């Protein structure tokens, strides 16, 4: 009598085990051919894991264990059969050495048309220094370089505790995405590395960037046309070029930027703090409903700046004015030190002056002296303690 019962128990346990496996598909790249030695090409294992996870109707986890995994260009394409694909990365993904290796593909790791992808942990090491050196040499480089991680036309994305090192171009880019939550992100690249923006958002809505540290050679966060409902909170920036709405007005037909909140952010040794910039060119673009609040500036060259006469290399803009209308931008509780005398600068469009600019409790000093503010074509209100005095 005993034997059939124990057989039954064992069968039942196997049944349970299979059930739990069936609830979440698990794909470990080591079991799919990856090698954690930093040299063996592990690209195919990630592609196989993705194909299985994306093709499954069940929630799936893709596991990258500890170690260094050499990965070439990867395109993670959807739509998938489920809306819960979770990357758990304990190790480091390493790009091939030599900046030519990623070619002109635009991205190193690129997600497209996905819904419900999360990434937890991990280090992405793009080894960008070769391309930076090539650019610095000024003799032309065979490849423009790639963005480290991009999401295009994707929804419901969550990324936590991810570190991006030394991107060739931008670190993280979101284009055409809805509902993206980035938390505890670390971006690290040299302060003089070219075009290594930390996080770039464009044509996207509902992106939040929380509790993150961004040290890089270009914008900490750059906010492109068509960005709405963006929330940035508790972020440390520096070195780098600050948080920048723009460049806008690159094109005539351009979507606006609306409802951007930047709160509890610290800028340290950055070129800019809170910046809005547009080319001095005709455009249908606009910026409205922006709030910068509880911001600390430490040795920032342009702590508060609106520059609508952006015209790098003086091509296709001299003598023109910006078509971008800027309305309702609030700067509240901004304090710290400016590295230049002009701490607040509003250089707005002659044709479409800035309106509804609000300064409230702004205290910025320049080498323990009084800083200055400068206004052109800017109107608004000033409230509370203001240093430098408002020029609105």
Ligand X SMILES: *[C@@H]1O[C@H](CO)[C@@H](O)[C@H](O)[C@H]1NC(C)=O
**131 closest CA partner among 102, 159, 107, 98:** 98
Tell me the closest approach of the beta carbon of residue 323 to ligand X, in angstroms.
24
Tell me the closest approach of the beta carbon of residue 97 to ligand X, in angstroms.
39
153 is a site residue for ligand X (CB under 6 A): no
In angstroms, the Cα distances linking 116 to 83, 113, 149, 159, 182 are 5, 10, 16, 11, 13
203 is a site residue for ligand X (CB under 6 A): no
Stretch that binds ligand X, among 30-38, 225-233, 234-242, 262-270 (CB under 6 A): 225-233
Q: Please count the residues of this chain forming the interface with ligand X, following the rule CB under 6 A.
A: 5
| CA torsion through residues 45, 46, 51, 55, sign | positive
State whether residue 197 is helix, strand or coil: coil
366 is a site residue for ligand X (CB under 6 A): no
Tell me the closest approach of the beta carbon of residue 67 to ligand X, in angstroms.
37
Which x/- pattern, by CB under 6 A, does the window 226-265 give for ligand X? ---xxx---------------------------x-x----
| Cβ proximity to ligand X, 194 vs 206, nearer residue | 206
Tell me the closest approach of the beta carbon of residue 353 to ligand X, in angstroms.
24
Q: Which residues of 108-119 are buried (b: 16+ CB within 10 A; e: fewer)?
A: bbbbbebbbbbb
Stretch that binds ligand X, among 85-93, 116-124, 140-148, 223-231 (CB under 6 A): 223-231
Tell me the closest approach of the beta carbon of residue 233 to ligand X, in angstroms.
10
Whether 241 is catalytic: yes
In angstroms, the CA 46 to CA 28 distance is 9
Contacts of 367 (CB under 8 A, 6+ apart): 337
| Cβ proximity to ligand X, 44 vs 259, nearer residue | 259
Contacts of 23 (CB under 8 A, 6+ apart): 58, 59
In angstroms, the CA 216 to CA 269 distance is 11
Alpha helices (runs of H) in the chain, residue ranges in sequence order: 2-23, 43-55, 129-137
Catalytic residue among 99, 110, 241, 314: 241
| Cβ proximity to ligand X, 126 vs 209, nearer residue | 209
Which x/- pattern, by CB under 6 A, does the window 39-78 give for ligand X? ----------------------------------------
Residue 90, both tokens = 């304990």
Tell me the closest approach of the beta carbon of residue 270 to ligand X, in angstroms.
23
Torsion of CA 323, 324, 327, 332, to 10 degrees: -130
| Cβ proximity to ligand X, 77 vs 261, nearer residue | 261
Preceding peptide of 101 cis, ω within 30°? no
For residues 180 and 151, the answer to whether their CB atoms sit within 8 Å is yes
| Cβ proximity to ligand X, 62 vs 257, nearer residue | 257
Catalytic residues: 241
Q: Interface residues with ligand X (CB under 6 A)?
A: 229-231, 259, 261
């Amino acid at each position: 009598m005993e034997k059939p019962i124990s057989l039954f128990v064992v069968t039942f346990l196997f049944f349970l085990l299979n059930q739990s496996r069936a609830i979440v598909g698990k794909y470990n790249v080591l079991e799919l051919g990856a090698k954690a030695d930093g040299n063996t090409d592990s690209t195919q294992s990630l592609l196989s894991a993705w194909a299985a996870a994306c093709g499954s109707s069940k929630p799936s986890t893709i596991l990258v264990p500890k170690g260094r995994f050499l990965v070439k260009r990867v395109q993670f394409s959807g739509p998938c059969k489920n809306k819960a694909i979770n990357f758990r990365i304990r190790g480091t993904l390493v790009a091939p050495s030599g900046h030519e290796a990623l070619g002109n593909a635009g991205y190193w790791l690129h997600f497209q048309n996905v819904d419900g992808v999360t990434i937890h942990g991990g280090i992405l090491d793009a080894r960008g220094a070769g391309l930076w050196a090539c650019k610095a040499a000024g003799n032309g480089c065979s490849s423009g370089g790639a963005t480290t991680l991009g999401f295009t036309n994707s929804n419901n994305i969550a990324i936590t505790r991810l570190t991006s090192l030394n991107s060739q171009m931008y670190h993280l880019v979101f284009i055409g995405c809805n509902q993206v939550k980035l938390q505890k992100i670390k971006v690290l690249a040299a302060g003089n590395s070219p075009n290594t923006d930390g996080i770039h958002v464009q044509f996207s809505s509902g992106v939040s960037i929380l509790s993150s540290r961004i040290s890089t050679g270009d914008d900490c966060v750059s906010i492109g046309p068509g960005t709405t409902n963006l929330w940035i909170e508790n972020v440390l920036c520096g070195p780098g070029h600050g948080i920048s709405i723009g460049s806008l007005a690159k094109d005539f037909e351009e979507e606006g930027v609306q409802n951007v909140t930047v709160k509890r952010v610290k800028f340290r040794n950055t070129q800019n703090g809170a910046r809005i910039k547009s080319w001095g060119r005709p455009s249908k673009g606009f910026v409205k409903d922006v709030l910068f609040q509880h911001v600390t500036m430490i040795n920032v060259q342009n702590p508060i700046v609106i520059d609508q006469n952006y015209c790098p290399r003086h091509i296709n803009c001299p003598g023109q004015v910006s078509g971008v209308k800027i309305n309702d931008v609030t700067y509240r509780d901004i304090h710290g030190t400016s590295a230049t005398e002009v701490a607040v600068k509003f250089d707005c469009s002659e044709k479409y002056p800035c309106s509804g600019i609000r300064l409230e409790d702004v205290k910025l000093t320049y080498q323990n002296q009084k800083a200055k503010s400068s206004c052109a074509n800017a109107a608004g209100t000033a409230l509370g303690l203001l240093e430098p005095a408002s020029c609105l």
